């Protein structure tokens, strides 16, 4: 009989591609994990793993079994969540994932309020890029994720929270001192500094900047907004900052000029996403209400 333990071990092995690392992640000995994988192969009459000196690779059958195992394990986690839901709204453990261009700007205000309103909640946080968050959500490693919408996956349900406008940031100079608004022509003339490939914030900015030359699009990529702000301040180019990041990254700097775009402003939509099979929709709606309460409000006047 196939056991949930065997499926969990196989899932960990698929993630780590290494018996030792998988055993460590599952808090068991390597021989014990290896034995369970062999018993699973015997039960299914399939070869799931190719064992090599450098690690392991899943066979084609192994990849399919892992895919099905993740669905089963996610359903079991949803069953456990259903039982815990009977304890009350936002109680027990909640595994929340968030992208790096949201987490440091929204969560510092949200976490104290979450602790105040729901003291019996034990929150676990994970910060990484959208693709990783969605994968971990679908496999049950996360309960809910805080991301930029849309998320195009039939197994995922989303809830819109609020808009986060983009603000143009450029080096302060006499030339732009009298400007009140950013214009599309500024984007076509300047070098655009964006986060590196894989960040959804980069894709969203580029979707607005369709007029850019290929040279401007490919000129630079950074791993953090803080690095980009430093580059802008030193005259290496311009960038589009999400408004929620401005208070943290720009503060009261006099070497950065912030300009809002005329309507319709470029923006991103912030939202929550969870598995459609999750029984914790009530929790996520309460979380959404709290995040809306603490979210930074658009400034009346952004240019400096």
Residue 252's pLDDT band (cuts 50, 70, 90): confident
CA–CA dist 238, 229 (Å, integer): 9
> CATH number for the domain including 125?
3.40.190.290
Nearest to 103 by CA among 269, 231, 244, 251: 244
Model-level pTM?
0.76
Q: Are residues 72 and 102 in the same domain?
A: no
> Burial of 60 by CB count in 10 Å (0-12 exposed, 13-18 middle, 19+ buried)?
exposed
Final residue of a structural domain among 40, 63, 82? 82
Q: Are residues 290 and 152 in the same domain?
A: yes
CA–CA dist 4, 185 (Å, integer): 58
Q: Are residues 154 and 250 in the same domain?
A: yes
Final residue of a structural domain among 63, 82, 101? 82
Q: Is the pLDDT of residue 299 over 70?
A: no
- Domain of residue 76 covers 4-82
Q: Are residues 53 and 143 in the same domain?
A: no
Q: Are residues 227 and 248 in the same domain?
A: yes
Final residue of a structural domain among 30, 55, 82? 82
Q: What's the whole-number mean pLDDT along residues 93-105?
A: 95
> CATH number for the domain including 62?
1.10.10.10
Least confident of 94-108, 143-157, 289-303: 289-303
Give per-residue pLDDT as tens, 220-249.
Answer: 567 889 999 999 999 988 898 999 999 999
pLDDT for the residue 202: 77
Residue, of 200 and 284, whose pLDDT is higher: 284
pLDDT for the residue 303: 43
Residue 304's pLDDT band (cuts 50, 70, 90): very low
**Residue 62 half-sphere exposure toward CB, CA atoms < 13 A:** 23
Contacts of 297 (CB under 8 A, 6+ apart): none
Cis ω on the peptide bond leading into residue 275 (within 30° of 0)?
Answer: no
Q: Is the pLDDT of residue 93 over 70?
A: yes
């Amino acid at each position: 009989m196939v056991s949930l333990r065997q499926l969990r071990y196989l899932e960990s092995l698929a993630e780590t591609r290494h018996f030792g690392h998988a055993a460590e992640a599952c808090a068991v000995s390597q021989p014990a994990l290896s034995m369970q994988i062999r018993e699973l192969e015997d039960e299914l009459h399939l070869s799931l793993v190719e064992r090599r000196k450098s690690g392991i690779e899943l066979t084609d059958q192994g990849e399919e079994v892992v895919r099905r195992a993740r669905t089963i394990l996610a359903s079991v986690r949803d069953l456990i969540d259903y039982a815990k839901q009977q304890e009350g709204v936002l109680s027990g453990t909640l595994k929340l994932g968030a992208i790096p261009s949201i987490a440091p700007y929204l969560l510092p205000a949200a976490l104290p309020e979450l602790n105040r309103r729901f003291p019996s909640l034990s929150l676990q946080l994970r910060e990484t890029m959208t693709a990783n968050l969605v994968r971990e959500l679908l496999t049950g490693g996360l309960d809910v994720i805080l991301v930029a919408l849309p998320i195009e996956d039939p197994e995922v349900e989303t809830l819109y929270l609020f808009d986060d406008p983009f603000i143009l940031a450029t080096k302060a100079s006499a030339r732009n001192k009298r400007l009140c608004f950013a214009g599309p022509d500024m984007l076509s003339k300047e070098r655009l500094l964006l986060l590196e490939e894989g960040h959804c914030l980069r894709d969203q900015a580029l979707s607005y900047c369709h007029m850019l030359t290929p040279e401007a699009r490919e000129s630079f990529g950074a791993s953090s907004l803080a690095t980009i702000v430093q580059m802008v301040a030193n005259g290496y180019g311009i960038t589009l900052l999400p408004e929620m990041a401005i208070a943290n990254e720009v503060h009261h700097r006099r070497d950065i000029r912030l300009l809002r775009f005329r309507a319709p402003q470029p923006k991103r939509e912030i939202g929550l996403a969870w598995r459609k099979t999750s029984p914790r929709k009530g929790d996520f709606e309460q979380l959404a209400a709290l995040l809306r309460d603490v979210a930074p409000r658009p400034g009346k006047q952004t240019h400096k």
